[in-house]
Amino acid sequence: MIKIMLVDDHELIRTGVRRLLEDNPNMDVVGEAGSGEEAISLIKELNPDIVLMDLNMPGIGGLETTKKLKHLIPNIRIIIVTMVDDIMFPQRLLKAGASGYLTKGCKSEEIMRAIRDVMTNKRYISPELAMKMATAVDDDKSPFTELSERELQVLMMLMGGQRVSEISNKLYISPKTVSTYRSRLHEKLGVKTDIELTRLAIEHGIISGNYKL
| Planar angle of CA 207, 197, 90, nearest 5 degrees | 40
Which pLDDT value is given to residue 213? 42
**For residue 63, is pLDDT > 50?**
yes
Segment 187-203, tens digit of pLDDT:
999 999 888 888 888 88
The domain over range 2-135 is classified in CATH as 3.40.50.2300: yes
Segment 80-121, tens digit of pLDDT:
999 887 778 888 899 999 999 998 888 889 999 999 999 999
pLDDT bin (cut points 50, 70, 90) of residue 208 is low
pLDDT bin (cut points 50, 70, 90) of residue 33 is very high
Taking the whole predicted model, whether its pTM rises above 0.85 is answered as: no
Burial 67-88 (b: 16+ CB within 10 A, else e): bbbbeeeeebbbbbbbbbbbbb
Phi, psi of 4 (to 5 degrees): -125, 140
Domain boundaries defined on the chain = 2-135, 143-203
Distances (CA, A) of 30 to 44, 45, 48, 93, 159: 12, 10, 7, 23, 30
Reduced to 3 states (helix: H, G, I; strand: E, B; else coil), residue 34 is: coil
Spelled out in words, what is the top-level CATH class assigned to the domain 143-203? mainly alpha
Which pLDDT value is given to residue 121? 93
